[in-house]
């Protein structure tokens, strides 16, 4: 249900953990647009979220009243495959340290940012929130997914046992300003943008993409996610018998092949697109059912074509200035 009176106010001291990441920076921008300018942030040098004592000291000194946990160790298929222990350990530590400390410190409201990878690989499409833990996960990112499920369940457990006001949002695949454009360790859309941009710059005749190109994916501009987070923080208060997490997406998907063609057009690549089917595809289809969030009054507003054009333009500008996260 939604509240007529906002559940957070401009007087709140809002700590955004992970404010320099793509999601965290978008959430900061959205909070500021909504009049929440009393933001608390800390760089990795200022606060190591893997260190429980450091997190406790920081909370004691800065006394946030609201927390948004957007910090996480993230990466694509190859990164998850290469560093499974890192993905599990680091994310479990970050979640436990921040969420438990927020609860013990008297934080009034917390938003945990999860991921749509928490759902089973072969979940019925579009994926409803109730699909959680009803089947096996996608093996290519199960370590990250297990950590995110643990964070979601920790929030739900603290609400159930201690009345801690913690909510969770599960966004679909994100793209937009501040993404990681590493050629192998990034997610599919930023990896395609970099690959096609460099191919266009070199005048390559062809580009080879991973997999078959047939999987279907949904993409949400990160500024839409920021707006959804503010909406949830201000208005969403789940009842005691309701699910404690909400899907965030567009409700629209397309094939990776169609996505590659759109990125090629946006970057000006005019060559041939080949597919290396020896590389893994991941989940065959992943589209979120966003009807619960829509019923509360929020919908995504940035079409993929518009968001892709602005993202490619910003990537090129930052790439030329050597400011891109590689």
Residue pair 217/21 in contact (Cβ under 8 Å)? The answer is no
- Residue 326 in tokens: 């590689």
Torsion region of 50: left, alpha or beta (phi above 0 gives left; psi -120 to 50 gives alpha) = alpha
Residue pair 170/114 in contact (Cβ under 8 Å)? The answer is yes
Q: How far is CA 321 from CA 75, 170, 259, 310, 324, in A?
A: 24, 33, 26, 17, 8
Tell me, yes or no, if 119 is annotated catalytic: no
State how far the Cα of 2 lies from the Cα of 297, in Å rounded to an integer: 9
Q: Which of 119, 144, 175, 181 is catalytic?
A: 144
**Residue 3, burial from CB neighbour count under 10 angstroms (0-12, 13-18, 19+):** exposed
Indicate the Cα dihedral angle 20, 24, 28, 30, nearest 10°. 140
Q: How many CA atoms lie within 13 A of 156 on its CB side?
A: 17
Residue 135: closest CA among 124, 125, 144:
124
Q: Which residues are catalytic?
A: 144
């Amino acid at each position: 249900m939604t509240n007529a009176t906002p559940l957070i106010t401009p007087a709140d001291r809002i700590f955004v953990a992970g404010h320099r990441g793509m999601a965290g920076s978008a959430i900061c921008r959205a909070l500021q647009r909504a009049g929440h300018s009393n933001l608390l942030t800390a760089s990795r040098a200022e606060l190591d979220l893997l260190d429980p004592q450091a997190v406790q000291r920081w909370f004691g000194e800065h006394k946030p009243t609201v927390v948004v946990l957007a910090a996480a160790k993230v990466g694509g298929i190859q990164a998850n495959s290469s560093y499974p222990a890192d993905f599990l350990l680091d994310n479990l530590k970050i979640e436990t340290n921040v969420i438990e400390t927020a609860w013990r410190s008297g934080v009034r409201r917390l938003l945990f940012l999860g991921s749509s990878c928490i759902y089973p690989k072969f979940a019925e499409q579009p994926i409803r929130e109730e699909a959680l833990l009803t089947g096996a996960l996608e093996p290519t990112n199960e370590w990250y997914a297990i950590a995110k499920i643990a964070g979601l369940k920790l929030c739900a457990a603290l609400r159930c046992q201690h009345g801690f006001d913690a909510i969770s949002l599960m966004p679909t695949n994100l793209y937009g300003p501040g993404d990681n454009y590493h050629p192998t360790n990034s997610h599919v859309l930023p990896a395609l943008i970099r690959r096609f941009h460099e191919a266009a710059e070199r005048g390559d005749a062809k580009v080879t993409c991973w997999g078959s190109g047939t999987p279907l994916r949904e993409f949400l501009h990160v500024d839409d996610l920021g707006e959804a987070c503010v909406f949830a923080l201000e208005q969403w208060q789940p009842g005691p018998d309701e699910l404690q997490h909400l899907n965030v997406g567009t409700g629209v998907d397309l094939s990776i092949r169609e996505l590659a063609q759109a990125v090629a057009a946006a970057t000006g690549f005019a060559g041939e697109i080949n597919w290396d089917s020896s590389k893994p595809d991941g989940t065959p289809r992943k589209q979120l059912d966003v009807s619960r969030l829509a019923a509360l009054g929020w919908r995504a507003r940035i079409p993929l074509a518009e968001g892709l054009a602005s993202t490619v333009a910003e990537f090129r500008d930052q790439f030329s200035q050597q400011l891109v996260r590689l």
